Structure formats: C-alpha cells, structure tokens
Amino acid sequence: MTLVAAIVLSPLLAAFLLAFTPGLKRAAALNIAASSAHFLLALTLLWAPHQSTALFLLDGFNIYLIILTTFVALTTSVFSAGYIATEVKEGKLNPLNLRFYHAMYQAFLFTMLLALSTNNLGVMWVAVEGATLTTVLMVSLYRTPAAIEAAWKYFILCGVGIALALFGTILMYMAAQPIMGPGMAAMTWTDLLGHVPRINAGILNLAFVFLLVGYGTKVGLAPLHAWLPDAHAEGPTPISAVLSGLLLNVALYAVLRFKMLLAAHDEALAPGPLMIFMGLATLALAGIMLYRRRDVKRFFAYSSIEHMGLITFAFGMGGPLANFAGLLHMTMHSLTKSAIFYAVGHAVQARGSQQIADIRGLTVSHPALGWGLLLGVVAISGLPPFGVFMSEFLLVTSTFARTPWLAVPLTVGLLVAFSALIMRAQQMCFGAPSMPQGRPLSGALVPLYAHLALVLLAGLWLPEPLVAWFRSVAALLGG
C-alpha cells in the first residue's frame, strides 16, 4: 500500500516543485519528467496484490484506470509543452500564469489518482471536489470574457453537482450507520460492500439517486451537461484533452462504485434502468447537438458527452459482455478523444481560429496533422478497424441479444452522431484550405500518433492478458 500512497502523493510533490519553478522550458520539462515518473510507478501496480486498507483500495477496476490516467496525463504533458510554448509566443498567455498552470496540472492529477485509489467514500468526494477546483481555475486561464463565463458556469453547475453528491454520501453513511456503528467503517467502501445486504433499502435508493445526479453532472450526463462544452472550448486545449480523457472517466468511476454497492443489495432499486435511461437520453441529445456546432472544440466536447452516454448505457445494461464493452469503450474513448484534442490544438494554432469554417483543407496545408485528425475522427465515429468499433459493436450486439428493443434507440443515436462526425471531418480535412499559407506546426505529433496507434492496435488485436483483465473487472462490476 505504500506504493499506492507514493503514486498518489508524487503528483502533489510535483505540484509544489512546479509552483516554484521559474522559466517555461524548465517547467514543461519537469512536468513531462514528473508525469513519466507517475506512469512508470503506476505500471508497477500490475504486479501489486489486490488488497484494501482503511484509506486505499486496489482491485482490477481501479488499477486499470490509474494506469490509463497516468498514461494520458503523460502524453498530454508532452503535447502541452509545445502547445503552451506557442501560446506564450503569440502573447495569449501571461508567463506569470504558467507556473500556476503547471502546478495546477499536477494538482489535478493528484485529485484524479486520489479519487481512483481511495477506499473511503468521503475522501473520494473531497478528491472529486478538488478536481473541480483545479479544473475551474485552469479553464479560466486565458482570462477572456468567454473563458470566465465558461469557468463560472462550470463552477456553478459542478458545484451544485458535487453538493448533491455529498448529500448522497451523507445519506449512504446514514443508512449504514445503524448497522455498522458510527465511525470510519460506515464510509469505507469494502466494509460497506460486506454489510450492504442488511442496510435499509429506502435510504440506499435515495442516496443513489443523489449520487447519480451529482457525480453524473461531472460525467456530463444530460440534462446537467451544459458546463462541459463551454469548459472544453474556452480552456487551453491540453485541459480539454484531460477533461475528456480523465475527469469524465473518474466521475463515472465514482458512480460505478456506488452502483456496485446497490447491486449487492437484494431489495434496493436496480440502478441499471436509471443509467440506461440517462445514457440513452445523453446519447440522443448530444447526437443532435453535434449538427449545430460551429466551434471545433465545442463540437468534440459534444462528442465526448455522446460517448459518456454510451458508456453509462453499457454499464447500465450490466452483465459480462456489456460491462466488458463499457470498460473497453472507456479506454478507447480516453485515448481517441485526447488524440483528437491534440490534433485540434495544433489545427487551431495553425489557423488562429476555433471556427470549423476556418479549419478547412487541413490535409492540403498540413498533411501529417490533417490525416491524423481524420484518422482520429474515423476512429471516434466507430468505423473499423479501430478499437472504438470493437467496443461499440460488442455493445450493440450484446444489447440486441438481451433486449432487442433497446438496441433500436442505441443504433439510431450512434448513426446520428456518426454522420455528424463524418460530415464535419470532411469539411475540416478536405477541400481547398481556407487559409492557404497557414502557420507552420509547432510541437511534435508524437502523442497524437501514439494514441492512434494504440487504438488501431486494440481494434486489430487485443492481447490475451488484457482481455482476461477486463473480463475479471466486468465480473466484478456485476449485473
């Protein structure tokens, strides 16, 4: 367990160091070095025993998410170095804000890893709240009116969301306290799981509704998704990448931990139908909203909402197959969406505008970038041979096998979003460039292509140990 503590605390240490590191180059290098260190530390978890203490918990579910989180954080820190350097050169960012930015990046990572690895529901709530705080501050980094409005909306909506989640957590404790006695045990997830069958079902149900709506706000589930497109569009692009790739997953992880508690109770309401309904509603809404976007970052933010709806639907369906699809989709979406945001970040810097109309003809003016973006969009829209196709195919077929009528809205939602994505990708990647000269690219495309390669690899061939790992987690998640 000291290993887990080290993994959680190392970003905090890095945040302190970065807060006192002057100079952009040095700070960016330190950020990358620290992120690599977290990733390497996280990899050693693969051989760590699955066990729990009062504060930390390790099982297949969170080990996989910890590794994914540190990996995306590492590639984003590489992308961020080039991106931020360009923004500073163009005078969009005050160098004074940069120390703050890097420290907040690591502090955000700290809250993510703490939320993932903790065994205590109260600590998990504090960590998600801390994540809100750090990301709100980063979204407002540019200090433009739009950025401030986005950060304000984010703060207000997610503030309300986490307040509801806290109420749910208190209710959960209140339900457990008569059985388990006062104190920490009634807040500890593993202890709760053992005692849950004897807990009052009524309070448990009420608590879950609050938790689903509360943490669901941070997942971006409709109707409380309104903060998400603004926060993605107005903050720096590396932050959009980690919001989509990490934060949404972690919020969903919190919901799933509570779902597992409810599933262990015979009389409590089945969380599945609720999650299926919210997932489908989110998918439908985001699919339709995709058509009216003119701003590229907003466009892909809606695509993130769509995919979170899909994943919520998958876990709502439950069972070994749908859970497997959900886990795979979580991974594939994180990798693909952050890759897309890397490409979008470069494209926006090359054209100096976030409007889709200004980004036309990217494959002509910047071939490497344009094709990368196109591949990313092809992957995220669920076309073979990429990994997203695998998980969506698995989800649709398992839904069709079990409840055929649910497969209809699911497929329609997928198709609606698919055609919007392909339509916009065509506009952005092909045709005559809207700005023929264009600025040269800054920063390497390595993170973009590394993610795409992984997604492609997963689509062609999933390694046997990974399949076994996901299978065991899917069994853990239950029906």
Shortest Å, Cβ 439 to other proteins: 22
Query: What is the nearest approach in angstroms of other proteins to the Cβ of residue 206?
Result: 5
Comparing CB distances to other proteins, the nearer of 184 and 401 is 184
Q: Report, in Å, the least distance between residue 299 CB and other proteins.
A: 10
Nearer residue to other proteins within complex by CB, 234 or 392: 234
Q: Cβ of residue 145: shortest distance to other proteins, in angstroms? A: 4
In sequence order, which residues have a C-beta less than 8 Å from that of residue 290 and are 6 or more positions away?
A: 299, 302, 303, 306, 416, 417, 420, 421, 424
* CB-based contact 340:297 (threshold 8 Å): no
* Beta-bridge mates of residue 56: 118
How far, in whole angstroms, is CA 62 from its chain's centroid? 14
In terms of CB distance, is 234 or 306 closer to other proteins? 234
**98 versus 414: smaller Cβ distance to other proteins:** 98
Tokens of 107: 């502090």
User: How many angstroms separate the CA atoms of 33 and 94, rounded?
Assistant: 23
Q: Token pair of 223, please?
A: 């109707």
Nearer to other proteins, 174 or 456 (CB): 174
Closer residue to other proteins (CB): 36 or 427: 427
Question: Quick one: DSSP state of residue 269?
Answer: P
Whether the CB-CB separation of 389 and 383 falls below 8 Å is answered with: yes
Contact (Cβ atoms closer than 8 angstroms) between residue 295 and residue 355: yes
| Measured distance CA(241)–CA(468) in Å, rounded | 29
> What is residue 439's three-state secondary structure?
coil
- Smallest gap from Cβ 275 to other proteins, in A, equals 21
Distance CA 1, CA 190 (A): 15
Q: Is 113 exposed, middle or buried (0-12, 13-18, 19+ CB in 10 A)?
A: buried
Give the shortest CB-368-to-other proteins separation in angstroms.
Answer: 28
What are the residues whose beta carbons fall under 8 Å from the beta carbon of 211, sequence distance 6 or more? 164, 165, 168, 169, 172, 254, 255, 258
Q: CB of residue 379 vs other proteins: minimum separation in angstroms?
A: 25
Question: What one-character-per-residue DSSP string does 393-437 give?
Answer: HHHHHHHHHH-HHHHHHHHHHHHHHHHHHHHHHHHHHSSS-SSSS
Sites of contact with other proteins (CB under 8 A): 120, 122-123, 125-126, 129-130, 132-133, 136-137, 140, 143, 145-146, 148-152, 155-156, 159-160, 163-164, 166-167, 170-171, 173-174, 177-178, 181-184, 187, 200, 202-203, 205-206, 230, 233-234, 292-295, 298, 354-355
Q: Which is nearer to other proteins, 79 or 299 (CB)?
A: 299
In the complex with other proteins, the residue whose CB is nearer, 167 or 400, is 167
C-beta of 175 vs 390, nearer to other proteins: 175
CB of 163 to other proteins, least distance (A): 5
Using the minimum distance from each CB to other proteins, give the nearer residue, 195 or 402.
195
Q: How far is the CB of 213 from other proteins (least distance, A)?
A: 11
Where helices occur in 90-224 by DSSP H, the ranges are 95-117, 121-139, 145-180, 189-195, 201-219
Give the nearest distance from C-beta 137 to other proteins in angstroms.
Answer: 7
Q: Which two tokens stand for residue 157?
A: 């909506």
For residues 453 and 75, give the distance between their C-alpha atoms in angstroms, rounded to a whole number: 13
Give the list of residues 6+ apart from residue 460 with CB closer than 8 angstroms, or none: 385
Q: Which is nearer to other proteins, 347 or 410 (CB)?
A: 347
Minimum CB separation of residue 92 from other proteins in Å reads 15
Contacts of 305 (CB under 8 A, 6+ apart): 220, 222, 225, 228, 229, 282, 285, 286, 289
